[in-house]
């Protein structure tokens, strides 16, 4: 039985939007009045539906009873910041107002302000009339939902203890009441009303993230979940070695689903050779006969693929031609290949004879897994991790000691909940991050950053530290080099934005790049990972069609987004790092 509220959640690029839109179309075709709500800051609902979707409810072109709305979290967060600071404009100077806005620039503020907007759709207080089904493209995180559960004293606490509410500021600026939030959370827990569709790919990192999401929702009492595994590859040409290996690896992953996901009802959806855009192609996701027709059309014609990208070997050659030390950081959304990129760059630098330190702030710490694939690791390469849990606990203990002594038990509980935010983790690892920057003045430090999406908050912290040092130091300003300045120094720091050659990961990386530039930090290059269009000799029709579809995305990256672009081809191997190094060793100088 389908429930009234349907949430599609999962990492960027797994197909949440396609599946949520296809479900909305199917239900509208069945005669139900359906509202589709997106809270994705890089929403592409308009592209997928081929109908203009704005920030007010409007009908979708081509279907009488399907309606859609985009809630832009960034706009919601900015409106929230303004509601916080507007009453203070006649009291505080402009610099103080600016500082408050900076402190409210973290992802937690965005999450809560966004949920504040779309909670009205669950509470039934939205405009647009009555809907039989409301489908949400992206669900609130566990952290958001935990914050919503805080008792009524929450607002009083955050107003009286602004220093203890680093993520949210005075939450009285939210539009909704605590009672509405209570109603919303209860409806989310009601299995007769709400279903969570956890969307994943048949890949280890994507399934691990799906399992974490499932566990987190279950802990919050939201156990009505289903698992959708999207993009499952089935070879059309078994004589194509790349296609055969890709199918083998997908099959192995489906057999190795994490324990948390095994109890869930699972549905798989195939990797398709065409972009799912427009009502008919959305219908094809769930209608096999229509899908077969589109697959036949997409794979029948002659496909020309001619696209070269510079390799990681070229990237390393160019960096070492400029300097013999420095900080190289891989950034991007989870699952795009930051860790393998960092590991490969570190190995290439070490193989050139440079002293290299490879480190990660990723809680999953896959760096050691990749390095462990190597038969031999150069003596001049050291590998470690900045343990976010250890650093965070140390930071929490310090804050509780400093700020908790004047609070009662309820106040301490609220402060501790606030400190559970992802923002706290970013602040906590900043100290270790600063040490890595210091080391980069005498050797290469390659850092794989955590896929939390809160990179900007970390940089804002760096900026606050920078301003504090400049204001309070007696040292000549020309001699001070803070971490923030180091990140802005392109001669020392090279930031690599990693993306897959697909629309959603590209848009998410572009949004991150804009955030970095707002902080005065310019990425050195983009790395396009898992590129089929870099491979020669593909014969499988489906892979050839997908390789051709990459070209437009890669062209946009090269021409509009990146100062420099490098690529890693699709290599379907378990021991990926040695295979990548061997591939670039063979093809060095050819760009393939």
- Cβ-based neighbours of 384, under 8 Å, separated by 6 or more: 357, 358, 359
Which two tokens mark 337?
Answer: 């290949």
- Cβ-based neighbours of 288, under 8 Å, separated by 6 or more: none
Q: How far apart are CA 295 and CA 289, in angstroms?
A: 10
Q: How far apart are CA 462 and CA 427, in angstroms?
A: 9
Which two tokens mark 478?
Answer: 């020309």
Reported as type and span, the H/E element at residue 423 is helix 422-439
Indicate the SS3 state at residue 67: strand
Return the beta strands (E) in 51-147 as ranges.
Answer: 58-59, 66-70, 133-137
Phi, psi (deg, nearest 5) at residue 369: -65, -45
By DSSP bridging, strand 493-499 and strand 326-331 are parallel
By DSSP bridging, strand 525-531 and strand 493-499 are parallel
CA quadruple 581, 586, 590, 592: dihedral sign: negative
- Cβ-based neighbours of 207, under 8 Å, separated by 6 or more: 200, 201, 253, 256, 257, 258, 261
List residues with catalytic annotation: 13, 15-18, 40, 504
- From 536, 352, 326, select the one nearest 443 (Cα to Cα): 326
Q: Return the number of other C-beta atoms located less than 10 Å from residue 458's C-beta.
A: 25
Asked whether 427 and 456 are in contact (CB, 8 A), the reply is no
Asked whether 172 and 188 are in contact (CB, 8 A), the reply is no
- Cβ-based neighbours of 581, under 8 Å, separated by 6 or more: 344, 347, 348, 351
């Amino acid at each position: 039985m389908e429930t009234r509220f349907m949430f599609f959640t999962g990492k960027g690029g797994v197909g949440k939007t396609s599946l949520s839109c296809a479900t909305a179309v199917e239900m509208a075709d069945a005669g139900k009045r359906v509202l589709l709500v997106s809270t994705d800051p890089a929403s592409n609902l308009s592209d997928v539906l081929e109908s203009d979707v704005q920030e007010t409810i409007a009908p979708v072109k081509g279907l009488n009873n399907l309606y859609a709305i985009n809630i832009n979290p960034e706009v919601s967060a900015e409106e929230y910041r303004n509601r916080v600071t507007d009453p203070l404009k006649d009291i505080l100077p402009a610099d103080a107002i600016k500082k408050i806005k900076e402190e409210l620039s973290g992802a937690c503020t965005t999450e809560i302000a966004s949920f504040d907007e779309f909670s009205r759709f669950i509470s039934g207080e939205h405009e647009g009339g009555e809907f039989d089904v409301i489908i949400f493209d992206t669900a609130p995180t566990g952290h958001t939902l935990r914050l919503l559960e805080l008792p009524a004293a929450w607002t009083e606490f955050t107003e009286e203890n602004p220093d203890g509410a680093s993520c949210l500021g005075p939450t009285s600026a939210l539009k909704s009441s605590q009672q509405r939030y209570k109603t919303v959370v209860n409806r989310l827990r009601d299995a007769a009303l709400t279903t969570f569709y956890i969307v994943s790919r048949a890949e280890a990192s994507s399934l691990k993230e799906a399992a974490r999401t499932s566990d987190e929702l279950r802990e919050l009492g939201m156990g009505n979940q289903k698992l959708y595994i999207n993009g499952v590859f089935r070879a059309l040409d078994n004589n194509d070695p790349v296609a055969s290996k890709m199918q083998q690896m997908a099959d192995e992953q489906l057999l190795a689903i994490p324990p948390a996901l095994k109890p869930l009802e699972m549905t798989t959806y195939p990797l398709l050779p065409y972009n799912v855009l427009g009502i008919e192609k959305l219908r094809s996701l769930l209608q096999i006969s229509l899908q077969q027709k589109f697959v036949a059309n997409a794979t029948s014609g002659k496909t020309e693929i001619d696209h070269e990208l510079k390799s990681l070997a070229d990237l390393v050659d160019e960096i070492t031609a400029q300097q013999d030390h420095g900080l190289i950081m891989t950034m991007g959304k989870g699952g795009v290949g930051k860790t393998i990129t960092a590991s490969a760059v570190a190995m290439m630098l070490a193989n050139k004879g440079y002293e290299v330190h490879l480190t990660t702030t990723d809680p999953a710490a896959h760096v050691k897994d990749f390095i462990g694939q190597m038969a031999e690791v150069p003596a001049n390469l050291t590998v470690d991790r900045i343990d976010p849990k250890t650093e965070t606990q140390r930071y929490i203990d310090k804050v509780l000691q400093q700020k908790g002594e004047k609070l009662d038990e309820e106040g301490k509980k609220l402060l501790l909940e606030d400190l559970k935010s992802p923002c706290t983790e970013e602040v906590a690892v900043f100290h270790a991050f600063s040490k890595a920057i210091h080391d980069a003045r005498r050797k290469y430090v390659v850092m794989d950053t955590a896929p939390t999406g809160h990179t900007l908050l970390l940089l804002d912290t760096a900026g606050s530290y920078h301003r504090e040092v400049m204001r309070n130091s007696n040292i000549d300003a020309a001699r001070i080099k803070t971490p923030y300045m180091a990140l802005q120094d392109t001669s020392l720091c090279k930031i690599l934005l990693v993306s897959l050659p697909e629309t959603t990961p590209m848009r998410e990386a572009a949004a991150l790049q804009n955030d970095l530039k707002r902080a005065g930090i310019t990425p050195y290059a983009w790395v396009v990972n898992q590129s089929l269009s870099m491979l020669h000799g593909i014969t499988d029709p489906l892979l050839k069609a997908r390789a051709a579809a990459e070209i437009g995305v890669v062209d946009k990256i090269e021409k509009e987004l990146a100062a420099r672009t490098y690529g890693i081809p699709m290599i379907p191997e378990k021991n990926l790092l040695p295979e990548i190094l061997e591939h670039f060793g063979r093809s060095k100088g050819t760009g393939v």
